[in-house]
């Protein structure tokens, strides 16, 4: 079965645009224009220029020899941690700011969990001289303080989301409310493959540069475009969507998505949506959703602010339902240990989100000839406090 | 005939629709509030089904949703409270809610239950027209349940026509681009929008909501539509200390007299 989005924004049973009428014109304007704009030669030229000289693309595909020896496979790391601002998030914000300019929008809003998307948005707004407001859960502001200050240094206003669990879900609610109240001059840069159509597909396309480069780089290194495995962590799922995108319909490539299990999937403190969720509607799309029997959204938990989300992108719900991707879940403790292991074996301290992807290697078994690509979505600078508090190194 | 149609046949102006959140301020206030509203002169009652993530609502209604959920309100509890409501009041009742709790309850079961207890219509802001007409419209029609859609100042004329064709009961005219309770007035700039809608001669009656909070804004809205909807201001009124029924009566009378 081919993985692709239909004209109503559905991937199989998931997706769509469940939005109040107040947001309809904004979303419709985007839907009607984005495909045309992103194909314009001038847009492509400016995007490619910024990805190369501002973001620092292509990012390396690095053969991690010591890690390979440890797990008995040929493991490559896609070095998104080397992107400007420290994670893959900027691939999307560069694309969306260029789009916003062509739509004539004067102001930008965004939501952020770990702060990486907020920093990436504040960065491109500074670059273009555009006003920027970032909503961030009050709890996340406390656990990701350096990123809050980075956004402020870049000239963005960081507004605390004080409703609900005061994390990513609530920051997204507040950003949507802001957009309802400011519908004409403002573009909302969503940071993951979530939200109403066309956001999930649009964000995935901006992130798809990751798998496009992996293909070219593997061809050069191995003489073939396709690895045996592509592994990525999933909160909303933007880095995974980018790493999977050009492999969705390459059946010989096994797609592996790794969710955060927090303190464990049966402790009530987890964010593993495919384990604990069932179909529901959140932030404008039908997807798998952690919820009560009455359909109230459940507050998730993960040590990693970027994975602390009760839903996931509709494309991932579809990949899960069809079995196209295999999902693993990884606890806080397993992720932290994997983060230390990567630091000690390869000299790379990963973001705690990313560390989840590496922890899944322990749950898998490989043939020595297997070519494995792990998407190293972000670096751990922002997480030093969390590493220090955890302390077991 | 649906009670909403009966209402608009009998009354074409100054129709007052009052919103409250089920389970607020106390879990079992629902019937008391409905009876007090009817007695005080509300023409239509809109009961909010509380939700954890009400993205179209401002702080006042968000807080009432949070309190109601903490009090234990759910769709099941609400339907049990409404079980013999038709023995008590004649006023048309619409339920307003976000689509996820209703999808979890089951859309068909929800429509059937609405018919059984005597709910006349629903407002589901995040259920898109496309989903409604593709999947759910036959269920609504089978159970005689009306679906009320919203329009805003940004809604195109073509879409307003489409909404008018697929709506029953009335059209909910959102007065300005905002979440609920964000503005406490309606301004001169909205006159063009109001006039534009009036000149379209829609088949459905219109009620203006968002920013209607007192007699002055109610009067202004009624010059431009068949009536108006008050939500956040009423939630604030029933949050006040003192006797709930007296607060309700005082508020409604202050708006319509």
Q: DSSP for A283-311, please give it.
A: TTEEEEE-B-TTSPBPPP--SSGGG--SB
In chain B, what are the domain boundaries? 14-256
Closest CA to A320 of A354, A276, A267: A276
CB contact under 8 A, A20 and B182: no
Quote the pLDDT of residue B257. 85
Q: Residues 194..253 of B with a Cβ closer than 8 Å to A: which?
A: none
Superfamily designation of domain B14-256: Aldolase class I (3.20.20.70)
Q: Which of A78, A89, A215, A337 is catalytic?
A: A89
Residue B35 is encoded by which pair of tokens? 């009876």
Q: What is the DSSP string of A359-378?
A: HGGGG----TT-EEEEE--B
- Find chain A residues with C-beta within 8 A of B53's C-beta: 164, 169, 173, 282-283, 297
Quote the pLDDT of residue A90. 98
Length of chain A: 393
Known catalytic membership, residue A377 = yes
Distance CA A109, CA A337 (A): 35
Distance CA A60, CA A221 (A): 12
Distance CA B206, CA B15 (A): 10
Q: What is the largest CA-CA distance in chain A?
A: 56
Average pLDDT, chain B: 95
Q: Residues 87..126 of B with a Cβ closer than 8 Å to A: which?
A: 98-105, 125-126
Residue B52 is nearest to which of A164, A177, A281, comparing CB atoms? A164
Residue A169 is nearest to which of B53, B105, B155, comparing CB atoms? B53
Closest CA to A192 of A178, A202, A182, A183: A202
B79-123 pLDDT tens trace: 999 999 999 999 999 999 999 999 999 999 999 999 999 999 999
Closest CA to B181 of B227, B149, B218, B213: B213
What ipTM was reported for this prediction? Answer: 0.93
Residue in chain B nearest A285 by alpha carbon: B126
Quote the pLDDT of residue B189. 67
- Helix or strand holding residue B255 (H, E): helix B244-256
Residue B183 pLDDT greater than 90, yes or no? no
Q: Going residue by residue through chain A, which has 393 residues, state the pLDDT in tens, using 9 for 90 and above.
A: 789 999 999 999 999 999 999 999 999 999 999 999 999 999 999 999 999 999 999 999 999 999 999 999 999 999 999 999 999 999 999 999 999 999 999 999 999 988 999 999 999 999 999 999 999 999 899 888 889 999 999 999 999 999 888 888 999 999 999 999 998 899 999 999 999 999 999 999 999 999 999 999 999 999 999 999 999 999 999 999 999 999 999 999 999 999 999 999 999 999 999 999 999 999 999 999 999 999 999 999 999 988 999 999 999 999 999 999 999 999 999 999 999 999 999 999 999 999 999 999 999 999 999 999 999 999 999 899 999 999 999
Residue A19 sits at the chain B interface (C-beta within 8 Å): yes
Higher pLDDT among residues A92 and B131, named by residue: A92
Mutation pick from A21, A292, A311 vs chain B, by most beta carbons of B within 10 Å, is: A21
Residue B177 is nearest to which of A173, A183, A297, comparing CB atoms? A183
Distance CA A30, CA A56 (A): 28
Domains of chain A and any CATH numbers: 11-51+89-203 (3.40.50.1100), 58-87+208-390 (3.40.50.1100)
Distance CA B176, CA B174 (A): 6
Closest CA to A93 of A117, A128, A59, A127: A117
Mutation pick from A7, A16, A17, A22 vs chain B, by most beta carbons of B within 10 Å, is: A22
What is the rounded average pLDDT of the residues B128-132? Answer: 90
Q: Is B47 helix (H, G, I), strand (E, B) or coil?
A: strand
Residue B188 pLDDT greater than 70, yes or no? no
């Amino acid at each position: 079965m081919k993985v692709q989005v239909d004209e109503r924004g559905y991937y199989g049973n998931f997706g769509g645009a469940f939005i109040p009428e107040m947001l309809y014109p904004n979303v419709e304007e985007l839907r009607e224009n984005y495909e045309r704009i992103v194909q314009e030669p001038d847009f492509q030229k400016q995007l490619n220029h910024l990805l190369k000289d501002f973001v620092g693309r292509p990012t390396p595909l690095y053969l991690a020899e010591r890690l390979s020896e440890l797990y008995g496979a040929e493991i490559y790391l896609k070095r998104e941690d080397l992107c400007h601002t420290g994670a893959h998030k900027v691939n999307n914000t560069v694309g969306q700011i260029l789009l916003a300019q062509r739509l004539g929008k004067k102001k930008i809003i965004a939501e952020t969990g770990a702060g990486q998307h907020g920093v990436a948005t504040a960065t491109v707004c500074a670059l273009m001289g555009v006003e920027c407001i970032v909503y961030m859960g009050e709890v996340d502001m406390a656990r990701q303080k350096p990123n809050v200050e980075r956004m402020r240094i870049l000239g963005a206003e960081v507004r605390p989301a004080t409703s609900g669990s005061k994390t990513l879900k609530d920051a997204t609610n507040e950003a949507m409310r802001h957009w309802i109240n400011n519908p004409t001059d403002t573009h909302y840069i969503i940071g993951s493959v979530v939200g109403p159509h066309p956001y999930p597909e649009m964000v995935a396309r901006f992130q798809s540069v990751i798998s496009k480069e992996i293909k070219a780089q593997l061809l050069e290194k191995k003489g073939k475009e396709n690895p045996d495995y592509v592994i990525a962590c999933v909160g909303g799922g933007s880095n995974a969507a980018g790493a999977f995108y050009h492999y969705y319909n390459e059946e010989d490539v096994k797609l592996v998505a790794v969710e955060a299990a927090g303190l464990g999937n049966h402790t009530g403190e987890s964010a593993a949506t495919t384990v604990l969720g069932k179909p529901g509607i959140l932030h404008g799309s039908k997807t798998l959703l952690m919820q009560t029997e009455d359909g109230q959204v459940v507050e998730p938990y993960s040590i990693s602010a970027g994975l602390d989300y009760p839903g996931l992108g509709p494309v991932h719900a579809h990949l899960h339902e069809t079995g196209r991707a295999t999902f693993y879940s990884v606890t806080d403790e397993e992720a932290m240990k994997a983060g230390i292991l990567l630091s000690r074996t390869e000299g790379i301290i990963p973001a705690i989100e990313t560390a989840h992807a590496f922890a899944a290697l322990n749950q898998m078994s490989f043939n020595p000839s297997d070519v494995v690509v792990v998407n190293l979505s972000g670096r751990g600078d922002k997480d030093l406090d969390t590493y220090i508090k955890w302390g077991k190194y | 005939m649906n009670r909403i149609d009966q209402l608009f046949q009998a009354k074409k102006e100054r129709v007052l629709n009052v919103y409250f959140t089920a389970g607020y301020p106390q879990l079992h206030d629902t019937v008391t509030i409905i009876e007090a509203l009817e007695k005080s002169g509300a023409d239509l009652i809109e009961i909010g089904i509380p939700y954890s993530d009400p993205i179209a609502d401002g702080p006042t209604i968000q807080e009432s949703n949070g309190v109601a959920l903490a009090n234990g309100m759910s769709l099941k509890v609400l339907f049990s409270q409404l079980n013999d409501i038709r023995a008590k009041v004649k006023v048309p009742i619409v339920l307003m809610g976000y689509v996820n709790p209703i999808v979890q309850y089951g859309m068909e079961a929800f429509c059937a239950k609405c018919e059984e207890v005597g709910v006349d219509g629903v407002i589901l802001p995040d259920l898109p027209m496309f989903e409604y007409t593709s999947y759910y419209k036959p269920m609504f029609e089978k159970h005689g349940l009306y679906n009320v859609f919203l329009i805003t100042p940004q809604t195109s004329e073509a879409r307003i026509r489409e909404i008018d064709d697929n709506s029953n009961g009335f059209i909910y005219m959102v007065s300005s681009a905002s979440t609920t309770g964000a503005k406490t007035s309606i301004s001169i700039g909205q006159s063009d929008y109001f006039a534009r809608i009036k000149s379209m001669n829609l088949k459905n009656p219109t009620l203006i909501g968002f920013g209607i909070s007192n007699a002055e804004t109610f009067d202004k809205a009624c010059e431009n539509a068949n009536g108006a909807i008050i939500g956040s201001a009423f939630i604030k009124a029933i949050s006040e200390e003192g006797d709930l029924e007296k607060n309700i009566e005082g508020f409604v009378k202050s708006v319509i007299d």
